[in-house]
Copies of this chain bind each other. A is one copy, B any other.
Amino acid sequence: MMNAWKDYQQQHKDRFLEELLALLRIPSISAKSEHNADMLTCAEAVKQSLLAAGADMVTIYPTAGHPIVYGEKMVDPSKPTVLVYGHYDVQPADPLELWNSGPFEPVIIDGKIFARGSCDDKGQFYMHVKALETLVKTGTLNNNIKFIIEGEEEIGSPNLATFVKEKKDLLKADVVLISDTSMLSMDTPSIDVGVRGLSYIEVEVTGPNRDLHSGVYGGAVANPITMLAKMIAACHDENNHITIPGFYDDVVEATPAERAKMAQAPFDEAAYKADLGVTELWGEAGYKTNERTGIRPTLEVNGIWGGYTGEGAKTVLPSKAFAKISTRLVPNQSSAKITEKLLAYFTQIAPAGVTVKASEHHGGEPYMTPIDSLEYKAAEKAITATFGKEPIPVRGGGSIPICALFEEVLGIKIVFMGFGLDSDNLHSPNEKFDVFNFYKGIETIPYFHQFYTDMKG
A contacts, CB < 8 Å to B: 31-33, 91-92, 94-95, 98, 155-156, 182, 196, 198, 200, 202, 207-223, 225-226, 228-230, 232-236, 276-284, 289, 292-293, 296, 298-319, 321-324, 326, 328, 351-354, 361-362, 396-399, 422, 425-430
Contacts and interface: CB of A to CB of B under 8 A. Distances in A.
B314 A91 contact: yes
Contacts of A324: 307-309, 313-314
B304 A317 contact: no
Contacts of A214: 298, 300, 302, 326, 328, 427
B31 A292 contact: no
A299 B435 CA distance: 53
B223 A92 contact: no
A117 to B, nearest CB: 13
A305 B302 contact: no
Contacts of A94: 308, 310
Q: Which 4 A-B pairs have the closest CB atoms?
A: A209-B277, A219-B298, A31-B312, A215-B398
Given A229-B228, A298-B219, A303 B293 contact: no
B282 A353 contact: yes
Q: How many copies does the complex hold?
A: 2
Contacts of A315: 91, 198, 200, 300, 302, 326, 399, 427
B220 A353 contact: no
Contacts of A425: 210-211, 213
Given A208-B276, A233-B230, A313-B155, A221 B281 contact: yes
A292 B210 CA distance: 20
A302 B316 contact: yes
A67 B308 CA distance: 25
A351 B322 CA distance: 23
Contact of A211 (B215, B277, B298, B427): B427
28 contacts: A31-B313, A91-B315, A155-B312, A196-B215, A202-B313, A208-B278, A209-B277, A210-B429, A210-B430, A211-B427, A213-B426, A215-B328, A215-B399, A216-B398, A216-B426, A218-B299, A219-B284, A220-B281, A220-B292, A221-B276, A221-B282, A229-B233, A233-B233, A278-B354, A279-B352, A279-B353, A303-B306, A314-B427
Contacts of A223: 282, 300-301
A269 to B, nearest CB: 10
A351 B233 CA distance: 12
Contacts of A428: 210-213, 316
Contact of A326 (B155, B277, B310, B313): B313
A316 B303 contact: yes
A397 B208 contact: no
A217 B351 CA distance: 31
A346 to B, nearest CB: 13
A99 B124 CA distance: 48
A419 to B, nearest CB: 15
B313 A217 contact: no
A236 B225 CA distance: 13
A185 to B, nearest CB: 14
Contacts of A311: 31-33
B293 A217 contact: yes
Contacts of A202: 313
A282 B313 contact: no
A218 B229 CA distance: 19
B281 A313 contact: no
B314 A282 contact: no
